[in-house]
Amino acid sequence: MLHLLPLSTLLLLRSVLATPRPSPAPQALPLLIWHGLGDNYAADGLRSVGDLAIDVNPGTFVYYIRLDESPDSDKSATFFGNLTEQIASVCADLAAHPILSTAPGVNALGFSQGGQFLRAFVERCNVPPVKTLVTFGSQHNGISKYQICLPNDWLCKTYIGLLRANTWGAWVQAHLVPAQYFRATNATTGEPTDEYLARSNFLADVNNEREVKNATYKKNLASLDKFVMYVFEQDTTVVPKESGWFAQVNTSSGKVTPLRNRTIYTEDWIGLRELDEKGALEFKSTEGRHMRLDDEVLTDVFEEYFSPAQGSWESLQKDAQGQLEL
């Protein structure tokens, strides 16, 4: 015998089924963080930055880039190693990561030398694709002096001694990290020296300063939705500090040539002019010495550049689907 549901029950079911279900909250893109010289991926200070990112944008998956699972070895790799090989290793690790490899895009935050290394990651591989890159106190246009070591930092003193002995030697350029973003310039003209252009293992390449340009570098960097560069106003560790904005400083006169007045921009060697023309290039400054950051500045960054409103898994997946349907 067939039993029919009461009319009231049928009306209730119809009402429940017809009620639209609330959409899940947009999920922020994963965040890559690359630390600077003398730091390591497991350091408490770096982890506190990741924790703050999650507090501001709940659900953010934070990945701390490392060159070794051992924190001590990861720290040593900030001083000693071949940057070409190190960045290739990071490219392989991120492309194979079970979560990051499935993301439609990621955001990236680089501290000091980690900033230009993340930029090199974007230029050389960019898998997963970076959407917004923010760097703090990075040496995008290189350094003209090596940093001063703390009195008891014997690791730092050892490598600084080797650096000063022979910056352009083949062994130094293949093994000592800061030498690979040292930029030597003519004391009169301020332009890079032939020795630098010929022997630089890293910076001259990623800045496309040599005669033959790598078109992939320009294409990949120009694909960013936003590239934000912070300079520390009282920075005396990065010399010149204006390197964080791709400015060139004459070591004799102290004259600063802003990025927009340089050939790397006017001829658009790496896509910076294209980024600027679409409103995606930002020059920012913050008070204090090198890497003296407070939570207020970082919170502003996480809210303004890394929130789901600026880019989420859902929005990028919809954009990708729309491209496929065109």
For the chain, what is the largest distance between any 2 Cα atoms, rounded to a whole number of angstroms? Answer: 102
**CB–CB of 189/252 below 8 Å?**
no
**CB–CB of 99/278 below 8 Å?**
no
- Choose, from 39, 235, 268, 312, the residue flagged as catalytic: 235
Tokens representing 207 are: 């800045």
**Backbone φ, ψ for residue 224 (5° rounding):** -60, 145
Burial 2-19 (b: 16+ CB within 10 A, else e): eeeeeeeeeeeeeeeeee
- Cis peptide, bond prior to residue 129, ω within 30 of zero: no
pLDDT in tens, the chain (326 residues): 445 555 554 444 455 455 555 455 678 999 999 999 999 999 999 999 999 999 999 999 999 999 999 999 999 999 999 999 999 999 999 999 999 999 999 999 999 999 999 999 999 999 999 999 999 999 999 998 887 777 787 777 776 777 777 899 999 999 999 999 999 988 777 789 999 999 999 999 999 999 999 999 999 999 999 999 999 999 899 989 999 999 999 888 888 999 999 999 999 999 999 999 999 999 999 999 999 998 999 999 999 999 988 776 665 555 543 433 33
Q: What is the set of domains in the chain, with CATH numbers?
A: 27-148+212-314 (3.40.50.1820)
- Choose, from 35, 39, 243, 290, the residue flagged as catalytic: 290
- CA–CA separation, 15 and 136 (whole Å): 54
Is 290 among the catalytic positions? yes
**CB–CB of 135/228 below 8 Å?**
yes
- CA–CA separation, 229 and 176 (whole Å): 25
**CB–CB of 293/234 below 8 Å?**
no
- Choose, from 112, 200, 243, 312, the residue flagged as catalytic: 112
Is 51 among the catalytic positions? no
Alpha-carbon distances of 195 from 155, 170, 191, 201, 204, rounded to whole Å: 27, 12, 12, 11, 11
Helix (H) or strand (E) holding 50: helix 44-56
- CA–CA separation, 80 and 172 (whole Å): 9
- CA–CA separation, 59 and 27 (whole Å): 6
- Of 44, 74, 71, 50, the C-alpha closest to 62 is 50
Half-sphere exposure of 62 (CA within 13 A, CB side): 23
Q: What is the pTM of this model?
A: 0.87
Is 223 among the catalytic positions? no
Contact residues for 319 (Cβ-Cβ < 8 A; gap 6+): none
- CA–CA separation, 146 and 148 (whole Å): 7
